[in-house]
Structure formats: C-alpha cells, structure tokens
Amino acid sequence: MEFFTQLGIDWRLLLAQAINFIILLAVLYKLLYRPVIRLLDERAAKVSRSLKQAEEIEQRLGEVNEQSKQTLALAHRDAERIITEGRAEAEQQRRAGIERTREESERLIAEARERIELEKERMVAEAKAEIADVVVAATEKILTAKLDAAADRALVDRVIRGLEN
C-alpha cells in the first residue's frame, strides 16, 4: 500500500470510491441498463415485425399486381372477342340487308314488268277493238256507198282522217 501513499492516493478512499462505483454500477444496471436494454429489444422486435409486415405487404402487392395484369389481359381478350363477334354480326346483318334489298328490288321489278305486260296487253286489245270497229265502219260505208272508184277513194280518205282525229 505504500505504493499508493507514494503516489498520494489514500487506499481507504480508493476502496470507498471503488465500492461506491460498484454500487453505482449495480444501481444503474438495475434501474437504467435493464429498462434500456428491454426498450431496445422491444424496439428491435417492433422493427423486425415492421420489416416482416413490409415484406408481406410487398408480396401481396406483387400478387395483386399479377392478378390485375391477368384480369386486364383477360378483359382485353374478352373485348377483342366481343369486337370480333360484333364485326361478324354487323357484316352478317349488312349482307342480310343487302339480300333483302336485292329480293325487294327483284320483286318490285317483277311487279313492274307484270303491270307493263298487262298494260301492253290491254292496249293491244283496245287497239284491236278500235281497228275492228274501224274496219266494220269502213266496210259498212263501202258497202252502202259503193258507186265508183272516185267515191271509193274519197270514202277511204274520210275514214283515215277520222282515225287520225
């Protein structure tokens, strides 16, 4: 202990300070170090849980993105199918409309031809009837007024002028 006295250190005081330091360490360990360590452990556990949750959320987000891509692709295929079907149906309706129009046109043309034919037949019949009437009238006049060649010629001229009027 002489060594301490030569340095000017009182060994009793040093011993008391060492005991006080050990007591202080024990008190700090009990009152401060354990709660701080516990708080740090809780914080580390919380950070670990947060990281785990973030990974789960990221994984779910990836799954949702993949599902949305698949849903979008399916919707796109459905839209293309609907458009294709719509175009095919529109083309079919257009062709059916053209066919109906063609059939209606043919029917109207046939009816018009039939009416024209009937009108023609009626006009021919009327013309034949008028010609027959003219021939009968001319024959009557010829038979009743048959005198000479000049009278025959004048009679024919009158009948022709009568036909023209």
Domain parsing of the chain, residue ranges: 2-164
Q: Which tops the pLDDT comparison, 34 or 87? A: 87
Distances (CA, A) of 74 to 34, 79, 81, 82: 59, 8, 10, 12
Residue 151, pLDDT > 60, answer yes
Distances (CA, A) of 117 to 106, 111, 113, 120, 121: 16, 10, 6, 5, 6
The reported pLDDT for the residue numbered 101 is: 95
Quote the pTM value: 0.41
Report pLDDT digits (tens) over 86-99: 999 999 999 999 99
The reported pLDDT for the residue numbered 44 is: 95
